[in-house]
């Protein structure tokens, strides 16, 4: 009897050398939140992303956003502009600091921040005497946001940008890698991301002092003294040298991972070309997505659900697009500037199995279930 294995949305994909670097950590007894693997991992990220960024490896992408907000001066009572259509980790750290997220709807070209609505929210804030302190912009599913437009608004109103590149390592905008565009960028190496350290993240900035501040805050804000001396409240957010060994190995295969994810997208797009109930998010000129997850847009909520349930029945994992933050119970009291775009995308969108380790037969199995539903 042939038993079918479960097909995952996005599962870890080791390259082969990770265990060697982890073993090195054991052999040299660097079992600590610092050490050679952390340094090597940071260096390889700096070289890969380019743009003279300085990288601090941290325990999670969420921790990186928390530190980024604090370093940019966000504090109690402030308002922070945040993309609504995203994972909750983009917004949660705003509340850790006692600030309020102001959620902004998406535009249809990239599914990310609508520049018009961002500007409207800023003007509204200014008119209340409360200019937003920062903008959290996200490259959703690996598709860069409208970087030039958001940067222009950021400069016009002198509001810094946190570039949430958690899903976009390997994506580029006019040939430059994502992660270098914001005043501070962040990455995630959670188990489902394009490369993983099982759990982990990073903070990036062209300003070396920002990296220094991040490392200082991430290691309990220790002053320079022989004893433990503190003039600020710190965190325990640094990346473990054991996990950084996994990241070091993963960086050797990052280009293959991007190619494999993009190949998944192209496969789905070609094989579903004849179905006008289904559409895809194309790359605008100058935009290059790592296609972390392949997302389809169906003609109606009902089609989305039929597909999701039919796939689940065959033990194939798929998932609706991120539910917008302005529709989440936990954020029901947060202000928002919306036009219905993110809600519509959420209702009709579905993420398909997208791992770089999917086999041809996995993709074939997935597409045959989808086609069966659409042919009805
Ligand atoms: C995964 C993710 C994060 C958070 O990263 P963690 O490493 O899981 O804390 C933040 N923002 C977005 C958009 C993400 O997808």
Tens of pLDDT, residue by residue over 354-365, are 999 999 999 999
Q: Can you tell me whether residue 174 is helix, strand or coil? A: coil
Inform me whether the pLDDT recorded for 2 exceeds 80: no
Strand order in the sheet with 176-177: 176-177, 172-173, 287-288
78: Cβ–Cβ under 8 A, 6 or more apart, which residues?
97, 98, 99, 100, 132, 133
Indicate whether 76 belongs to any domain.
Answer: yes
Q: What's the pTM value of the predicted model, to 2 decimals?
A: 0.97
Distance between Cα 89 and ligand 1 center (Å):
5
- Domain assignment of residue 325, given as a range: 254-374
Active site residues: 193
Q: What is the mean pLDDT of the chain?
A: 97
Q: Tell me the mean pLDDT in the region 33-55.
A: 97
Closest ligand 1 atom to 139 CA: 13
245 and 259, same domain (yes or no): no
Report pLDDT digits (tens) over 171-216.
999 999 999 999 999 999 999 999 999 999 999 999 999 999 999 9
Closest ligand 1 atom to 192 CA: 1
Report pLDDT digits (tens) over 124-164.
999 999 999 999 999 999 999 999 999 999 999 999 999 99
Burial of 143 (0-12, 13-18, 19+ CB in 10 A): buried
Indicate whether 1 belongs to any domain.
Answer: no
Distance between Cα 186 and ligand 1 center (Å):
9
Distance between Cα 166 and ligand 1 center (Å):
5
Q: Are 328 and 95 contacting, i.e. CB atoms less than 8 angstroms apart?
A: no
* Structure tokens belonging to residue 201: 């993240």
Q: Where among 251, 268, 290 does a domain terminate?
A: 251
62 CB less than 6 Å from ligand 1? yes
Q: Where among 229, 251, 273 does a domain terminate?
A: 251
What CATH number does the domain containing 157 carry?
3.40.640.10
- SS3 for 134-165 is EEEEECHHHCCCCHHHHHHHHHHHCCCEEEEC
247 and 291, same domain (yes or no): no
Beta bridge partners of 103: 82, 336
Strand order in the sheet with 54-58: 54-58, 201-205, 184-188, 161-164, 134-138, 79-83, 100-104, 336-337
Closest ligand 1 atom to 189 CA: 7
In Å, the largest CA–CA distance within the chain is 73
Q: Tell me the mean pLDDT in the region 251-270.
A: 98
DSSP string, 47-93: HHH-TT-EEEEES-HHHHHHHHHHHTT--TT-EEEEESSS-GGGTHH
242 and 285, same domain (yes or no): no
* Domains contained in the chain, number: 2
Q: Where among 233, 251, 269 does a domain terminate?
A: 251
Indicate whether 2 belongs to any domain.
Answer: no
60 CB less than 6 Å from ligand 1? yes
Interatomic CA distance for residues 159 and 153, integer angstroms = 8
What CATH number does the domain containing 270 carry?
3.90.1150.10
267 and 237, same domain (yes or no): no
Give the gyration radius of the chain's Cα atoms: 21
Q: Can you tell me whether residue 332 is helix, strand or coil? A: coil
Report pLDDT digits (tens) over 61-75.
999 999 999 999 999
164 CB less than 6 Å from ligand 1? yes
pLDDT confidence bin for 3, thresholds 50/70/90: low
240 and 264, same domain (yes or no): no
260 and 225, same domain (yes or no): no
Closest ligand 1 atom to 60 CA: 7
| Residue from 190, 247, 354 to probe ligand 1 pocket by mutation (most atoms less than 8 Å from CB) | 190
Distance between Cα 278 and ligand 1 center (Å):
28
pLDDT exceeding 70 applies to what percent of the chain? 99
138 CB less than 6 Å from ligand 1? yes
């Amino acid at each position: 009897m042939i038993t079918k294995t479960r097909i995952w949305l996005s599962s870890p994909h080791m390259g082969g050398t990770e265990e060697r670097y982890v073993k090195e950590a054991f052999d040299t007894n660097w079992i600590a939140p610092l050490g050679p693997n952390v340094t090597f991992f940071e260096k390889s990220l700096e070289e890969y992303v380019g743009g003279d960024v300085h990288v601090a490896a941290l325990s999670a992408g969420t921790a990186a956003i928390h530190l980024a907000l604090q370093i940019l001066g966000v504090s109690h009572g402030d308002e922070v502009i945040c993309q609504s259509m995203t994972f909750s980790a983009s917004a949660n750290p705003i509340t850790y600091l006692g600030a309020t997220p102001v959620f902004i709807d998406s535009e249809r070209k990239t599914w990310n921040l609508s520049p018009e609505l961002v500007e409207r929210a800023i003007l509204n804030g200014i008119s209340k005497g409360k200019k937003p302190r920062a903008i959290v912009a996200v490259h959703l599913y690996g598709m860069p946001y409208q970087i030039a437009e958001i940067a222009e608004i950021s400069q016009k109103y002198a509001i810094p940008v946190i570039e949430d590149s958690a899903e976009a390592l390997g994506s580029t905008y006019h040939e430059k890698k994502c992660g270098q565009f914001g005043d501070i960028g962040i990455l995630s190496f959670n188990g489902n991301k394009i490369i993983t350290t099982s759990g982990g993240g990073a903070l990036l900035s062209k300003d070396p002092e920002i990296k220094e501040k991040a490392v200082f805050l991430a290691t309990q804000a220790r002053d320079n003294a022989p004893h433990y001396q503190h003039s600020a409240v710190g965190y325990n957010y640094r990346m473990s040298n054991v996990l950084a060994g996994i990241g070091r190995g993963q960086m050797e295969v990052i280009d293959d991972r991007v190619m494999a994810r993009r190949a998944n997208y192209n496969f789905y797009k070609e094989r579903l070309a004849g179905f006008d109930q289904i559409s895809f998010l194309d790359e605008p000129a100058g935009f290059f997505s790592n296609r972390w997850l392949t997302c389809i847009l169906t003609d109606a909520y009902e089609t989305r659900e039929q597909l999701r349930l039919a796939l689940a029945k065959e033990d194939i994992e798929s998932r609706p697009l991120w539910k917008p933050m302005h529709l989440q119970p936990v954020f029901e009291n947060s202000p928002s500037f919306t036009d219905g775009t993110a809600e519509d995308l959420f209702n009709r969108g579905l993420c398909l199995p997208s791992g770089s380790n999917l086999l041809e037969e996995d993709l074939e199995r997935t597409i045959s279930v989808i086609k069966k539903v659409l042919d009805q």
